[in-house]
Amino acid sequence: METDPQYPHPEGMETHLITLKINGKHHSINIRSWVSLLDCLRDHLDLTGTKKGCDHGQCGACTVICDGKRILSCLSLAVMKDGAEITTVEGIATENGLHPLQQAFIDHDAFQCGYCTPGQLCSALGLLSEGRASSREEVKELMSGNLCRCGANVGIIDAIMQVKSGGSDE
């Protein structure tokens, strides 16, 4: 295991060797205890699709799917995810093209600046697999952890409702 030259490990600062399966690919990473899953993805693995918004669990931009559940990568320690299977926005599309949810976001103008979009997509995929929302009101409630400062929320909910109504095999 090579040490990331960008992150030398000063004496006395122990590291932990963890393995993560990210978007189907195994990674072994030597990491300090306090590195968040978000920083691990972005700075150690160059998976910069996952965004850092507030870094305090208030905006949802860093949402990823971890062992089937949507979580906030900014409030997760990478070392506590050793062995986990993670899907980021980079892993959503298939060989055949965009995931139906991604296409639905395009169809409904569900973004403007796009910064919240990776988190919105991962969160919406989590919502669809949880199967807890049927009405539009329930979808809105269960998507409230993802803020969109451009105000594309109506389009986002429209896109999710389109997939729920049969645009996807989710």
Partner 1 sequence: MNSFKFLTAPDVPAAIQLTDDQHLAAFIAGGTNLLDLWKYNLVNPTALIDISQLAALSALRELENGGFRLGAAVKNAETAYHPIIESRYPLLSKAILAGASAQIRNMASNGGNLLQRTRCYYFYDHQVPCNKRVPGSGCPARVGYNRMHAILGASEACIAVFPSDMCVALAALEARINVTGIDGERSLAFSDFHRLPGERPELDNNLKPGELITSIDLPEKGFPLNYSYLKLRDRHSYAFALVSVATALEMNGPTIKEARIALGGVAHKPWRSLEAEEFLRGKTACRENFAAAADMILQGAVGLEYNNFKIKLAKNAIIRNGMMALDPDAQLPGAQPSL
Q: Evaluate whether 149 touches 141 at the Cβ level (below 8 Å).
A: no
Dihedral pair phi/psi, residue 144, rounded to 5°: -70, -15
Measured from the CB atom, is 110 or 127 closer to partner 1? Answer: 127
| d(C-alpha 27, C-alpha 95), whole Å | 21
CB of 56 to partner 1, least distance (A): 5
Q: Which of residues 80-99 bind partner 1 (CB under 8 A)?
A: 80
Q: Taking Cα atoms as reference points, which of 116, 52, 131, 125 lies closest to residue 91?
A: 125
What's the distance, CA 114 to chain centroid? 14
Q: Pick from 27, 77, 115, 161: which binds partner 1 (CB under 8 A)?
A: 77
Q: Which of residues 16-35 bind partner 1 (CB under 8 A)?
A: 16, 32-34
For partner 1, what does the binding mask look like between residues 120 and 149, x meaning CB under 8 A? ---x--xx--x-x--x-xx-xxxxxxx---
Q: Which of residues 35-64 bind partner 1 (CB under 8 A)?
A: 36, 55-57, 60, 63
